[in-house]
């Protein structure tokens, strides 16, 4: 377990619960996100990952437990309140306007203006220049910030969203599965910018299904399974193999193979599947040791 007493983290959840009616989406979940660190949240579909970040981002409120920002207990009523405290979220389905230029999307909702009162107008030159430099600062060299954002690749769009959050002063950057829909190369590019955000001193919360994306960049790892925390470790406490094994749910695979075996002795095909699963479970178990 991680020693959480040393410094005050930017975000701290302690024993948080969240119910949707009868469904327990989170139970006794704790997590820290500190400046200059990447906290990874891993888990299968329905594990509670999105629920967790929605609490942090002010979309939902926790039912029990404590949520603190920079050491002070909070209960955000809206994402706007979280944003005002420097907590920015990049959702997987990025809220962009595909036909608008990159710079327009970069400043969407926070347009720069020049002049005062009724004579003020958009400061297009400033927004263009700033978008260009901010992207360059993150190492992204776009040919043309006037091109519609819809013409960028999924990875590039994620990067623009990250650069935007950094520019508008985010302290905590939450990324919900930013690499899920990407190929290996583009995922690599996005991982690079996640590291870049950490280098600039942000606390990053990185949600993913993929231990191979999480392990190389993460400083700490929270594993959720059906709303419960099954592991929470600093990087030096867990190996890539252990993390992968926990994700693959070695024990669950084994259980499933036994059940299939019992149900499927008469069915040759099922038998075959059961054997496959057994081999896979044995492999996972082996990698874990």
Ligand X SMILES: Nc1ncnc2c1ncn2[C@@H]1O[C@H](COP(=O)(O)OP(=O)(O)OP(=O)(O)O)[C@@H](O)[C@H]1O
The contact set with ligand X (CB under 6 A) reads 20, 23, 25, 43, 45-51
d(CA 46, CA 25): 8
Which of ligand X, Mg ion, none does 23 bind, CB closer than 5 to 8 A by kind?
ligand X
Residue 52, phi then psi, degrees to nearest 5: -60, -50
Residue 117 has which token pair?
């009162």
Which of Mg ion, ligand X, none does 25 bind, CB closer than 5 to 8 A by kind?
ligand X
CB of 92 to ligand X, least distance (A): 8
Cβ proximity to ligand X, 138 vs 222, nearer residue: 222
Residue 219 has which token pair?
């400083």
- Hey, which residues does 174 pair with through a beta bridge? 89, 205
CB of 47 to Mg ion, least distance (A): 8
Closest C-alpha to 178, from 89, 106, 78: 89
Residue 113 has which token pair?
């203006």
Cβ proximity to Mg ion, 92 vs 130, nearer residue: 92
The answer to whether 260 touches 268, Cβ cutoff 8 Å, is no
CB of 160 to Mg ion, least distance (A): 22
d(CA 227, CA 46): 8
How many other CB atoms are there within 10 angstroms of residue 159's CB atom?
A: 25
Cβ proximity to Mg ion, 12 vs 49, nearer residue: 49
Cβ proximity to Mg ion, 49 vs 104, nearer residue: 49
* Residues forming the site for Mg ion (CB under 5 A): 49-50
Which of Mg ion, ligand X, none does 45 bind, CB closer than 5 to 8 A by kind?
ligand X
Which of Mg ion, ligand X, none does 34 bind, CB closer than 5 to 8 A by kind?
none
Q: Side-chain half-sphere of 158: how many Cα atoms within 13 Å?
A: 27
CB of 60 to ligand X, least distance (A): 8
CB of 26 to ligand X, least distance (A): 8
What radius of gyration, in Å, describes the C-alpha atoms of the chain?
22
Which of Mg ion, ligand X, none does 48 bind, CB closer than 5 to 8 A by kind?
ligand X
The answer to whether 185 touches 154, Cβ cutoff 8 Å, is no
Cβ proximity to ligand X, 166 vs 187, nearer residue: 187
CB of 221 to Mg ion, least distance (A): 17
d(CA 83, CA 211): 28
Which of ligand X, Mg ion, none does 12 bind, CB closer than 5 to 8 A by kind?
none
Cβ proximity to ligand X, 25 vs 194, nearer residue: 25
């Amino acid at each position: 377990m991680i020693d959480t007493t040393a410094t005050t983290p930017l975000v701290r959840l302690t024993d948080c619960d969240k119910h949707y009616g009868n469904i327990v989406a989170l139970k006794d979940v704790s997590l820290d996100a500190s400046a200059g660190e990447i906290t990874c949240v891993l888990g299968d579909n329905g594990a509670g990952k999105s629920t967790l970040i929605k609490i942090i981002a002010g979309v939902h409120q926790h039912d029990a437990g404590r949520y603190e920002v920079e050491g002070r207990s909070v209960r955000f009523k809206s994402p706007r309140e979280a944003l005002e405290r420097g907590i920015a979220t990049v959702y997987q389905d990025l809220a962009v306007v595909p036909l608008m230029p990159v710079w327009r999307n970069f400043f969407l909702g926070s347009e720069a203006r020049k002049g005062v009162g009724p004579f003020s107008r958009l400061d297009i030159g400033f927004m263009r220049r700033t978008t260009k430099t901010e992207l360059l600062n993150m190492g992204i060299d776009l040919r043309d910030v006037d091109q519609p954002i819809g013409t960028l690749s999924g990875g590039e769009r994620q990067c623009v969203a990250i650069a935007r959050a950094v520019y508008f002063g985010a302290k905590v950057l939450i990324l919900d599965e930013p690499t899920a829909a990407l190929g290996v190369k583009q995922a690599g590019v996005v991982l690079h910018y996640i590291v870049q955000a950490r280098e600039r001193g942000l606390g990053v919360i990185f949600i993913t299904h993929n231990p191979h994306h999480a392990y190389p960049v993460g400083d700490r790892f929270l594993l959720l399974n059906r709303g419960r925390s099954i592991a929470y470790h600093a990087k030096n406490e867990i190996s890539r193999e252990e993390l992968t094994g926990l994700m693959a749910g070695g024990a669950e695979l084994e259980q499933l193979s036994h059940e299939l075996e019992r149900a499927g002795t008469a069915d040759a095909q099922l038998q075959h599947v059961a054997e496959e699963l057994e081999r896979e479970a044995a492999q996972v178990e082996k990698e874990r040791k």
